[in-house]
Amino acid sequence: MNLRRRFIVYLVVVHALLAVAAGYLLQRDRLWLVAVEAAFVVTFVWGVLIVTRLSSTLAVVRQSSHLIDEGELTTRFLEAGHPDVDLLVQVYNRMVDSLRDERVKLQEQQYFLGRLLAVSPAGVVILDHDGRVSSLNAAAERLLQLSTASLAGARLADAPSPLAVTLASVAPGEARVVAHQGGRRIRCQAAAFVERGFPRRFYLVEELTEELRRTEKAAYEKLIRQMSHEVNNSVGATRSLLQSSLAFGAALGGDQRHEFEQAIGVATARLERLNTFMRGFADVVRVPEPRLQPADADALVEGCVRLMQAQTDPARVQWRWDRQAALGDIPLDAAQIEQALINVLKNAVEAVGDRGTVTVRLARADGHGVIEIEDSGPGISDEARAQLFTPFFTTKQNGQGIGLTIVQEILRRHAFAYALDGPAGGPTRFRITLGAAAD
């Protein structure tokens, strides 16, 4: 029974009691009949007014409650002319106006955030309250090489992606730069936010390869130029002094003259080696823009392999071909690509040691020619993997780390994608995709 019915029952009971009282008084004095009837009319009218006003107020409350439950915030009530009801209507209208404005603002913010995440170059991975993947944007799908559908509801540590596993190990508030897929640099950062009183974690994944490469390139180019300038000046002046000093050898006799000339020869040879050493670094800086012309990529690779085969012992290095498809004519700078391929092949030969195998694979993928050079060497250690394509990094005892730096510079200038990777223990693969720019 609702409140309105209770008031009606109350009025009926009160007036029944008044009727009984009127009958009793009528028997004693008829003049009381007029007073009772007047009281009866007044109380009845007053009760009807109270019930009507209360019913109007309750109707507004019920309708407003129903509209809020339904999420309908566009309906506003008109004032009915009753002060109490009008006050309630005013409060409700102000409340729904405020809620509607907040909902529109929240929807606009959510739309903006969704668009921002969709076009952001940084990957965003959001976990749910249970630590499972809730969503990820397009950049995260590209970097993790996984789709939202395949990763949703799974834990990052269980995902079939090395970068996802690395990402799962990053603690909240921590930022880490990791090596990924043959020299790419990825910055991983973890953070948290609170939703409905409970924390949720999210990750930011950002490609830093090109940014770091430009910074490193600007730094080492400036350093090499300064070193070359100083060394060349010193070498030139010292060589001139040494050659002038040879004239004094004629004044010496016997063994003294021989020792003197031998010492001058050693010093001159050392200067030449120093000059050659510096020229190797200067070559990195002097790599020109490629002059692109259509070239037979198959013949170019065959020529480079034939050149390296002539320099290796057949008993020590076995060469294999895996021709899956023809590469065809590709716009490139033949001289620069030959230099890059020879450096890669030389590294493969040095990696295999005795009785190793170098496999040259020609294929096509997504409409692009692919050159893959695989060696049966010991593979890439975790320490070396983190430093791949770092300027002048080398694992060779007497190496300068110039070869891969030049290879990277040439392939970058051609906008060819490349990757160097392989598990510890081998094999190691250097993959070049012709005509496909690196991500």
Q: What is the mean pLDDT of residues 111-125?
A: 82
Answer with the residue of higher pLDDT: 321 or 419: 321
Q: Is the pLDDT of residue 49 over 70?
A: no
Q: Is the pLDDT of residue 19 over 50?
A: yes
- 414-427 per-position pLDDT tens digit: 888 888 887 777 78
Q: What is the pLDDT of residue 427?
A: 86
CA angle 271, 276, 277 (to 5 degrees): 95
3-state DSSP assignment of residue 187: strand
Q: Is the pLDDT of residue 380 over 70?
A: yes
Percent of the chain with pLDDT over 90: 6
Q: What is the pLDDT of residue 413?
A: 83
Q: Is the pLDDT of residue 350 over 90?
A: no
pLDDT confidence bin for 290, thresholds 50/70/90: confident
Instruction: Name the pTM for this structure.
Output: 0.52
Q: What is the pLDDT of residue 84?
A: 66
- 141-153 per-position pLDDT tens digit: 888 888 878 888 8
Structure tokens at 399: 């190496």
Average confidence score pLDDT of the chain: 76
Answer with the residue of higher pLDDT: 11 or 310: 310
Say if CB 127 and CB 134 are below 8 A apart. yes
Distances in Å between the Cα of 6 and the Cα atoms of 22, 53, 55, 208, 227 are 24, 15, 12, 74, 100
Percent of the chain with pLDDT over 70: 64
Q: What is the pLDDT of residue 55?
A: 62
Q: What is the mean pLDDT of residues 400-425?
A: 79
Q: What is the pLDDT of residue 222?
A: 67
User: What's the rounded Cα separation, in Å, for the pair 52 and 84?
Assistant: 12
Q: Is the pLDDT of residue 438 over 60?
A: no
Q: Is the pLDDT of residue 280 over 70?
A: no
Q: What is the pLDDT of residue 439?
A: 43
Q: Is the pLDDT of residue 307 over 70?
A: yes
Q: Are strands 356-365 and 417-421 parallel, antiparallel or unpaired?
A: unpaired
Sheet strands side by side (includes 198-207): 133-136, 123-127, 198-207, 184-195, 175-180
Answer with the residue of higher pLDDT: 353 or 430: 430
Say if CB 166 and CB 240 are below 8 A apart. no
Counting runs of H as helices and runs of E as strands, what totals does the chain give? 12, 12
DSSP state of 289: P
- 256-268 per-position pLDDT tens digit: 777 777 777 777 7
Query: How many CB atoms lie under 10 A from the CB of residue 376?
Result: 20
DSSP state of 257: H
Count CA atoms within 13 Å of residue 323 on its CB side: 9
User: What's the rounded Cα separation, in Å, for the pair 125 and 146?
Assistant: 11
